[in-house]
Structures are given as structure tokens and as C-alpha cells.
Amino acid sequence: MRSDLKDQVDRFADDVTSTLQAVLGEKDVELQATMLDERFTVSTPEPSGITLCVDRKPLLRLAVKFECGWDSQDEFVAVDTAEFHVFTLRDREALFRYEFVRNMRSPIPCAHLQIHGHRDALAYAMTRAGKRTTRSKRRADGAPPRMDELHFPLGGARFRPALEDVLQMLVEEFGVDAVDGWRKHLAQGRERWRRIQTRAVVRDAPDEAVATLRALGYLVTEPEGEVLDANIKRLQSI
């Protein structure tokens, strides 16, 4: 494994740590990077997560975990999985979970939200689910349904929520304690995230990017033949 992967992962862990500290004001919060086979895990020190307070009284816990490795070209660090789990102080089962699996090998959306709760109307609909797909058939024929079995899609690999989105929801909706200026910091972090994802989308659909730029008045010169094909193949694999 090239040594600079660890350097990139360490910088990534520092960036996430800075975001958490800038919003929550907890200077002792520091994500740890741990080597796992050919990849690294970046996570909150305790599996139970960090404590979130309301009016300085503990209310919730937030567990953050990423698994990172090289992209397909061994050039840049890529996030293979991301998990943002929110718990109450006493429960081991999460209230809700934001999760992303880069190479999902099942019909579950690669970026999704799961809510742990119960509502009679939703359970009623789930017990009468159709049998068109493996998952719906399993729920129709199996045990009483649970709300957390539903995976709500969240924009796929390119448009999935960032940690900044989850933190804003916790502060806005639950009133979690945050330091002055937290909105500005989250806005800056979200802007960085969106620009990174914009570059990825351009790699996915270069023809659309070229057409849009030309419509805006830019002059775009395309490489020819094998050079164009090779560049597209290389970039789309990142």
C-alpha cells in the first residue's frame, strides 16, 4: 500500500474532525483513522458515538464512520462506505441512520436513510406489499414489518447528503448545542462538498458538461479519438 494513502486519509479525518469541532464546540472530539486490510476506517473514538447536548444537558449520540481506500486509478482517496447514526443516550438501536455503500451489491439504494420507529398506517401498507421484487416479497411473506426495514433513497453516490447536512438537521430540528458561526461553517463545508461532487458528475457525463459550457458562451475543445475515449474511461472510474 502506498504511504500517501495514509496521508490522504489523515487529512480527510482532520477535515471531518474540524467540521464536528467547529459546529459542536467539542475540542476533544477527534476522529481516528485505523488501518483495515487495504483500507482505512475513519470513525468517532467510541462506537456509541459522541454526546450531543441541549442546553448543556446530554440528549443524543452521533456515531460517524467512513471506510476509505484508493479510487480505481490509485490516485485519490475514495469513500467506500459512510455511516451517520443517531441514538438516544440509553438506546442501542439508532433513531435513524444515513448510510452509503459505494459498491452496493443488492437492490438497496447505495445512499439511503433508515428510520427506526413505528406507525400503524405504514405497517399496514408494508404487510400488503406486492411481490414484484425480492425485498417486497420477503416483507409480504415474512415476520411483522419494521419501519427500519425501509431504505429511503438519498440521491445516489453523487448527490447523497454530506455530514454537514446531518449536523444541520440535528441543530435545527433537535436544538443540539452549537457554537456561534456554525451555520457559516456548515455552508462552507457543504459548498466544498458540492464542488467535489460536481467534478464527479462532470466526469460521469462530459458531453452534458461540454454542451452546458458552450451554451454559456465558453469555447470548449474536445480531444480526439483514442485520447478522448481513454480520458473518459479513466475519469469515470474515479
Better pLDDT: 38 or 97: 97
pLDDT in tens, 179-225: 999 999 999 999 999 998 898 888 888 889 999 999 999 999 887 76
pLDDT, position 57: 92
Q: What is the DSSP string of 10-58?
A: HHHHHHHHHHHHHHH--TT---EEEEETTEEEEE-SSTT-EEEEETTEE
pLDDT in tens, 80-91: 999 999 999 888
Burial environment of residue 99 by CB neighbours within 10 A (0 to 12, 13 to 18, 19 or more): buried
